């Protein structure tokens, strides 16, 4: 396999030619079945096709085979989201907690984790995460104006003042 061949497949996926990309990537995978980057690209393509169940083992194997850098971060997000959409909520929660620890600056993990918390019926914790992310990242003038109040109430949603 050459990097050129993988890049061609990635470009096919980026151009919406998902089946062609999948075919090319699977062919490349026959030559190098343990390559973590290639496994990640296959998972990503299955994910783009809406075939999350088929994507899952490729994400898992890519991570297990030592995927690094931005690709690892992307695979963790893809796998966690895939777990969630397939109702593997506990697996998703564990993975997103690890990702938040490994990539504290990558706020998207907290938003996806909040979705998992919703699925686990942990509504208060999920809302707290979302409200905090919203208040700390928005450029909206109205939300910025009330940022202190939003952050104050984020962990007090069930509290009643008399």
Query: Could you list the mean pLDDT of each consecutive 10-residue stretch along the chain, which spans 162 residues?
Result: 86 96 96 96 96 98 97 98 97 98 96 97 96 95 94 91 86
d(CA 31, CA 142): 55
Residue ranges per domain, the chain? 3-103
d(CA 99, CA 29): 27
Measured in residues, the chain has a length of 162
d(CA 144, CA 103): 25
Q: Which two tokens stand for residue 5?
A: 């061949």
Residues contacting residue 162 through CB under 8 Å, at least 6 positions apart: none
Where residue 121 falls (left for φ over 0; alpha for ψ -120 to 50; beta otherwise) is left
pLDDT at 114: 97
| Listed residue (104, 101, 45) closest to 75, CA to CA | 45
- Give the pTM: 0.91
The answer to whether 70 and 103 have CB atoms below 8 angstroms apart is no
What kind of fold does domain 3-103 have according to CATH? Answer: 1.25.40
pLDDT at 137: 95
pLDDT at 113: 98
Q: Which two tokens stand for residue 50?
A: 């809406």
């Amino acid at each position: 396999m050459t990097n050129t061949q993988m890049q061609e497949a990635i470009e096919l996926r980026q151009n919406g030619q998902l089946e062609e990309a999948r075919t090319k990537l699977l062919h490349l995978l026959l030559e190098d079945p343990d390559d973590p980057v290639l496994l990640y690209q296959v998972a990503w393509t299955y994910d783009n096709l809406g075939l999350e169940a088929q994507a899952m083992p490729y994400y898992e194997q890519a991570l297990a085979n030592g995927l690094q850098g931005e690709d690892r971060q992307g695979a963790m997000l893809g796998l966690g989201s895939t777990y969630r959409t397939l109702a593997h909520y506990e697996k998703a929660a564990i993975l997103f907690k690890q990702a938040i620890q490994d990539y504290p600056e990558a706020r998207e993990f907290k938003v996806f984790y909040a979705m998992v918390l919703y699925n686990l019926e942990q509504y208060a914790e999920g809302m707290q995460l979302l409200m905090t992310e919203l208040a700390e990242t928005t450029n909206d003038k109205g939300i910025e104006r009330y940022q202190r109040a939003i952050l104050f109430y984020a962990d007090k949603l069930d509290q009643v003042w008399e």
